[in-house]
């Protein structure tokens, strides 16, 4: 919401020349205005009130009247401005010269070189030989422009994003079950459930403000946490089940079988709104209590207790994140959760739902508008009517729209290895740190003829590999919108100047279009606000229709707006939290949700004598964000987590290896060996170890296997061994 003080209109001030960079703001400067914007880290989408002096940000506080966070923020949000002034910001394009040295260059020289190199590759190897990797951390307007420019303007066929590492499983699970990628909930459901089941999710760290919402639940709810580790969330839950990693699918089949056998299902709902229940029930019949107990390592009684609790709840909600998605069988596991909600009629009512919580600030925008797996606006590349509609909205020839989605992230990486991809443009993601089996990934990136990286910082692992680095403005330095986990569209804005010659990604894409010679195709994408109008038109008639949102000002005035919000929607948007499927109609042509089943498969890399331990990876603290390019720049956040990489190991395994906490150990998998500090803790079970993903070395260990449907990497279970190399004094 835009607030005004001293007669200044904030937006005008931001356009005014002059002003100072964040680093030079005098201490205790008195703000003269405030403006609200959505946080640039996680998908919770908290609103932050930025305090301005002469139009520049001087501080922030959590917004008090936003329906998401209601006056609170986590440490990352509080420190969001602090990371913008870091000394390693990319301030000019960096071109690698013939001797391999990176040298500052003008935008003109940089873009000429980029176009010349990419065009050269395309003329030698075909247009598909240049690809892009994008992100769920840019504004929707930006990621849509990148997808449209790359595929329609530059002739690329293959492009994907870091949402593949994160949300691809949920996307496919929802599409197959509901007919559209449609997380059905609204955050109020956290407060309205009497039973909440969290699967492979650690919201205390990863979505702390959503966990606050759970704590506000007035119904004295039963909170189940299903996670092999005793996480911070598990410690606060009323019930914790610690199944063997990747045995969740068997667990939920077993629970479903019990519910069916005891008649604890909602026949009316199943018959009116779903399909394929009988074949599902038959397929899971073999998942007896005995078998499931054997496969999960859980007591039979504990499994029965979960089924009884689901039956006893009036409003049961299921929530899952990466413990489910990042798996070689993630899609079917997610669908085993969706099936529980469907068969008990726990969907479409307050406090219910089969709810995947998304990860990055704009993963939801990326899922609908990145033009990667889906054609812009949640459309289908393979559908000629969809291609025609998109072409009309964009005023382009439908012939330039590919008739199929491009390769997934892993296929692009493999494509480089097979010499099918020769040029790559990586935008707002740090592949050389975050991709699975890092040694192999870096070797493969090193084989490219030309690598362009577009990032805020010149020092990221991927930026250092680039032939050309394009300096990008970050959150707080540009305008646009994000879509949060509950489908709420909110504003981001420019409250600080990007350093040096860094430009907003939107502006960089517009420049690339001009230099490529396809600028005419994107004339209507004049500004993020103009692009938003195009996105609206693209969404028309889709389940994510947002044609009822007039403009940015309406978003500001409303506290964000959840999709769908078609034209003609009358209710005051901020006050009306919207959940999906209240009428029981799903997005398949017959209006029915699907039950989908497949037998669980064994671990791709089971522990053996040489590598007897299972490595789990994930988030380590609320103060660390992913590859740490941003959060490591805040002195406050750095105090909140261990600087050095550590491995959590159970006392039983520690004893067997004569280890104590703080010993330096080698952790080794078939792919590599890293050095870490041991942290002996019962938070991991015997036979399992845990290393946070935030440290550069973690992914040297992980095994590049993928879910066959979603192509999401299975980051969370590979075999390792641990050896003490020295005790620290």
Ligand X SMILES: Nc1nc2c(c(=O)[nH]1)N[C@H]1C(S)=C(S)[C@@H](COP(=O)(O)OP(=O)(O)OC[C@H]3O[C@@H](n4cnc5c(=O)[nH]c(N)nc54)[C@H](O)[C@@H]3O)O[C@H]1N2
In the complex, least distance from residue 418 CB atom to ligand X, rounded to whole angstroms: 23
In the complex, least distance from residue 251 CB atom to ligand X, rounded to whole angstroms: 8
Alpha-carbon distance 249 to 308, whole Å? 18
Tell me the C-alpha to C-alpha distance, in Å, between residue 138 and each of 161, 460, 466, 480: 11, 17, 20, 9
In the complex, least distance from residue 162 CB atom to ligand X, rounded to whole angstroms: 4
Asked if 361 and 38 touch (Cβ cutoff 8 Å), the reply is yes
**699 touching ligand X, by CB under 6 A:** yes
* Residues within the interface to Mo ion (CB under 5 A): 166, 359
Considering the complex, state which of residue 184 and residue 618 has its C-beta at the smaller distance from Mo ion.
618
Phi-psi region of 335 (alpha: psi -120 to 50; beta: other; left: phi over 0): alpha
Asked if 502 and 89 touch (Cβ cutoff 8 Å), the reply is yes
Q: Which residue has the tokens 């029965």?
A: 304
**44 touching ligand SF4, by CB under 6 A:** yes
In the complex, least distance from residue 167 CB atom to Mo ion, rounded to whole angstroms: 7
Considering the complex, state which of residue 122 and residue 699 has its C-beta at the smaller distance from ligand X.
699
**698 touching ligand X, by CB under 6 A:** yes
Q: Which residue has the tokens 């590979």?
A: 718
Alpha-carbon distance 705 to 605, whole Å? 9
Binder to ligand SF4 among 1, 143, 201, 209 (CB under 6 A)? 209
Considering the complex, state which of residue 118 and residue 381 has its C-beta at the smaller distance from ligand X.
118
Residues β-bridged to residue 617: 691
Which residue, 705, 429, 395, 496, is CA-closest to 54? 496
**489 touching ligand SF4, by CB under 6 A:** no
Instruction: Find the angle CA(90)-CA(499)-CA(130) to the nearest 5 degrees.
Output: 40
Considering the complex, state which of residue 358 and residue 634 has its C-beta at the smaller distance from Mo ion.
358
Which residue, 221, 225, 231, 292, is CA-closest to 256? 292
**179 touching ligand SF4, by CB under 6 A:** no
Considering the complex, state which of residue 379 and residue 626 has its C-beta at the smaller distance from ligand SF4.
626
Q: In what order do the strands lie in the sheet with 222-226?
A: 239-241, 222-226, 195-199, 316-320, 353-356
Tell the burial category of 541 from Cβ atoms under 10 Å away from its Cβ (0-12, 13-18, 19+): exposed
Tell the burial category of 28 from Cβ atoms under 10 Å away from its Cβ (0-12, 13-18, 19+): exposed
Q: CB under 5 to 8 A by kind: which of ligand X, Mo ion, ligand SF4, none does 460 bind?
A: ligand X
String of contacts with ligand X for each residue 384-423, x by CB under 6 A: ----------------------------------------
* Residues 6+ positions from 583 with CB-CB distance below 8 Å: 348
* Residues 6+ positions from 604 with CB-CB distance below 8 Å: 328, 703, 705, 714
Considering the complex, state which of residue 587 and residue 626 has its C-beta at the smaller distance from Mo ion.
626
Alpha-carbon distance 80 to 717, whole Å? 32
Binder to ligand X among 35, 296, 434, 481 (CB under 6 A)? 434
Strand-strand pairing, 159-161 and 130-134: parallel
Alpha-carbon distance 157 to 381, whole Å? 11
Q: CB under 5 to 8 A by kind: which of Mo ion, ligand SF4, ligand X, none does 607 bind?
A: none
Binder to ligand X among 57, 80, 138, 632 (CB under 6 A)? 138
Torsion over CA of 26, 30, 35 and 41, rounded to 10 degrees? 40
Q: Which residue has the tokens 């517009």?
A: 510
In the complex, least distance from residue 77 CB atom to ligand SF4, rounded to whole angstroms: 2
Instruction: Find the angle CA(116)-CA(120)-CA(124) to the nearest 5 degrees.
Output: 175
Residues β-bridged to residue 51: 34, 59
In the complex, least distance from residue 555 CB atom to ligand SF4, rounded to whole angstroms: 17
Tell the burial category of 119 from Cβ atoms under 10 Å away from its Cβ (0-12, 13-18, 19+): middle
In the complex, least distance from residue 238 CB atom to ligand SF4, rounded to whole angstroms: 23
Contacts (CB under 6 A) with ligand SF4, residues 69-88: 69, 73-74, 76-77
Binder to ligand SF4 among 35, 41, 377, 613 (CB under 6 A)? 41
Q: CB under 5 to 8 A by kind: which of Mo ion, ligand SF4, ligand X, none does 77 bind?
A: ligand SF4
**332 touching ligand SF4, by CB under 6 A:** no
Considering the complex, state which of residue 42 and residue 342 has its C-beta at the smaller distance from ligand X.
42
**228 touching ligand X, by CB under 6 A:** yes
Contacts (CB under 6 A) with ligand X, residues 539-578: none
In the complex, least distance from residue 72 CB atom to ligand SF4, rounded to whole angstroms: 8
Instruction: Find the angle CA(641)-CA(647)-CA(648) to the nearest 5 degrees.
Output: 90
Binder to ligand X among 205, 421, 441, 483 (CB under 6 A)? 205
Q: Which stretch binds ligand SF4 (CB under 6 A): 42-50, 96-104, 374-382, 693-701?
A: 42-50
**629 touching ligand X, by CB under 6 A:** yes
Strand-strand pairing, 672-680 and 646-649: parallel
Considering the complex, state which of residue 82 and residue 166 has its C-beta at the smaller distance from Mo ion.
166
Q: Which stretch binds ligand X (CB under 6 A): 322-330, 517-525, 560-568, 605-613?
A: 322-330
Number of residues that bind ligand SF4 (CB under 6 A): 13
In the complex, least distance from residue 162 CB atom to Mo ion, rounded to whole angstroms: 7
Considering the complex, state which of residue 208 and residue 476 has its C-beta at the smaller distance from ligand SF4.
208
**455 touching ligand X, by CB under 6 A:** yes
Alpha-carbon distance 11 to 226, whole Å? 46
**330 touching ligand X, by CB under 6 A:** no
Binder to ligand X among 77, 147, 359, 559 (CB under 6 A)? 359
Alpha-carbon distance 405 to 160, whole Å? 10
Q: CB under 5 to 8 A by kind: which of ligand X, ligand SF4, Mo ion, none does 32 bind?
A: none
Other CB atoms within 10 Å distance of the CB of residue 551: 11
In the complex, least distance from residue 264 CB atom to Mo ion, rounded to whole angstroms: 34
Number of residues that bind ligand X (CB under 6 A): 59
Q: CB under 5 to 8 A by kind: which of Mo ion, ligand SF4, ligand X, none does 552 bind?
A: none
Q: Which stretch binds ligand SF4 (CB under 6 A): 67-75, 128-136, 325-333, 382-390?
A: 67-75
- CA 653: distance to chain centroid? 33
Return the structure tokens found at 210: 């959503």
Q: CB under 5 to 8 A by kind: which of ligand X, Mo ion, ligand SF4, none does 39 bind?
A: ligand SF4
Binder to ligand X among 715, 718, 719, 721 (CB under 6 A)? 715
Q: CB under 5 to 8 A by kind: which of Mo ion, ligand X, ligand SF4, none does 430 bind?
A: ligand X
Question: What single DSSP character describes residue 706?
Answer: B
**615 touching ligand X, by CB under 6 A:** no
Binder to ligand X among 128, 293, 371, 624 (CB under 6 A)? 624
Tell me the C-alpha to C-alpha distance, in Å, between residue 80 and each of 192, 246, 474, 631: 31, 35, 10, 8
Return the structure tokens found at 276: 């394929």
Residues that bind ligand SF4 (CB under 6 A): 39, 41-42, 44-46, 69, 73-74, 76-77, 208-209
Residues that bind ligand X (CB under 6 A): 42, 137-138, 162, 165-166, 199-202, 205-207, 226-229, 231, 245-246, 248, 321-323, 326, 359-360, 427-430, 433-434, 454-457, 460, 472, 474-475, 505, 616-619, 622, 624-627, 629-630, 693, 698-699, 702, 715-716
């Amino acid at each position: 919401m835009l607030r005004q003080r001293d007669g200044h209109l904030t937006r005008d001030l931001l356009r005014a020349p002059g002003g100072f960079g964040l680093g030079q703001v005098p201490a205790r400067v008195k703000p003269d205005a405030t403006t609200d914007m959505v946080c640039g880290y996680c998908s919770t989408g908290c609103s932050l009130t930025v305090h301005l002096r002469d139009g520049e940000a001087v501080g922030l506080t959590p917004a008090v009247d936003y329906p998401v966070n209601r006056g609170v923020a986590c440490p990352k949000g509080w420190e969001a401005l602090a990371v913008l002034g870091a000394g390693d910001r990319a301030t000019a394009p960096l071109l690698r010269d013939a001797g391999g040295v990176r040298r500052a260059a003008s935008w003109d020289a940089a873009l000429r070189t980029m176009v010349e190199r990419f065009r050269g590759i395309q003329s030698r190897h075909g247009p598909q030989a240049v690809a892009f990797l994008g992100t769920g951390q840019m504004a929707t307007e930006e990621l849509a422009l990148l997808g449209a420019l790359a595929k329609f303007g530059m002739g690329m066929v293959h492009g994907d994003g870091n949402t593949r590492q994160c949300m691809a499983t949920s996307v496919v699970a929802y599409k197959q079950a509901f007919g559209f990628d449609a997380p059905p909930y609204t955050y109020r459901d956290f407060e309205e459930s009497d039973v909440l089941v969290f699967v492979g999710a650690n919201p205390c760290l990863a979505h702390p403000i959503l966990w606050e919402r759970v704590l506000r639940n007035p119904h004295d709810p039963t909170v189940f946490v299903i996670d092999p580790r005793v996480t911070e969330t598990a410690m606060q839950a009323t019930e914790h089940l610690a199944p063997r990693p990747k045995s969740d699918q068997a667990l939920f089949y077993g629970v479903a079988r019990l519910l069916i056998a005891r008649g604890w299902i909602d026949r009316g709902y199943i018959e009116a709104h779903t399909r394929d229940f009988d074949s599902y029930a038959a397929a899971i019949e073999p998942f007896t209590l005995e078998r499931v107990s054997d496969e999960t390592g859980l007591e039979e009684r504990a499994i029965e207790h979960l089924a009884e609790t689901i039956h006893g709840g009036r409003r049961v909600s299921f929530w899952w994140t990466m413990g489910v998605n990042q798996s070689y069988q993630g899609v079917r596991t997610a669908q085993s959760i969706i099936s529980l909600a469907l068969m008990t009629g726990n969907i479409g009512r307050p406090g219910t739902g089969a709810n995947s919580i998304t990860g990055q600030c704009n993963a939801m925008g990326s899922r609908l508008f990145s033009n990667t797996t889906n054609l812009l606006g949640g459309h289908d590349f393979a559908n000629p009517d969809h291609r025609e509609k998109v072409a009309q909205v964009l005023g382009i020839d439908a012939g330039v729209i590919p008739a199929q989605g491009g390769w997934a992230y892993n296929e692009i990486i493999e494509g480089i290895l097979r010499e099918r991809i020769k040029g790559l443009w990586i935008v707002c993601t740090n592949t050389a740190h975050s991709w699975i089996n890092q040694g192999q990934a870096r070797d493969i990136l090193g084989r490219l003829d030309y690598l362009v990286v577009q990032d805020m910082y010149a020092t990221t692992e991927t930026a250092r590999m680039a032939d050309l680095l394009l300096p990008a403005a970050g959150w707080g330095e540009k305008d646009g919108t994000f879509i949060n986990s509950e489908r709420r569209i909110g504003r981001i804005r420019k409250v600080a100047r990007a350093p040096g010659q860094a430009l907003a990604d939107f502006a960089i894409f517009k420049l690339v279009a001009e230099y490529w010679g396809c600028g005419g195709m994107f004339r209507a994408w004049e500004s993020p606000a103009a692009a938003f109008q195009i996105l609206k038109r693209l969404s028309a008639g889709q389940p994510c229709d947002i044609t009822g949102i007039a403009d940015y000002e309406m978003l500001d005035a409303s506290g964000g707006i959840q999709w769908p919000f078609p034209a003609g929607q009358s209710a005051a948007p901020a006050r009306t939290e919207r959940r999906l499927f209240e009428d029981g109609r799903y997005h398949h042509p017959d209006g029915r949700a699907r039950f989908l089943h497949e037998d669980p498969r064994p671990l791709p890399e089971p522990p053996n004598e040489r590598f007897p331990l299972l490595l789990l990876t994930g988030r380590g603290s609320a103060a660390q964000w992913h590859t740490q390019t941003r959060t490591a720049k805040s002195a406050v956040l750095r105090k909140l987590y261990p600087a050095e990489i550590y491995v959590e190991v159970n006392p039983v395994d520690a004893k067997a290896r004569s280890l104590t906490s703080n010993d330096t150990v080698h952790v080794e998998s078939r792919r590599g060996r890293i050095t870490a500090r041991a942290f002996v803790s019962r938070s991991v079970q015997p036979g399992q170890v845990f290393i946070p993903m935030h440290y550069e070395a973690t992914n040297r260990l992980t095994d590049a296997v993928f879910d066959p449907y979603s192509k999401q990497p299975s980051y969370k279970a590979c075999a390792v061994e641990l050896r003490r190399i020295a005790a620290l004094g």
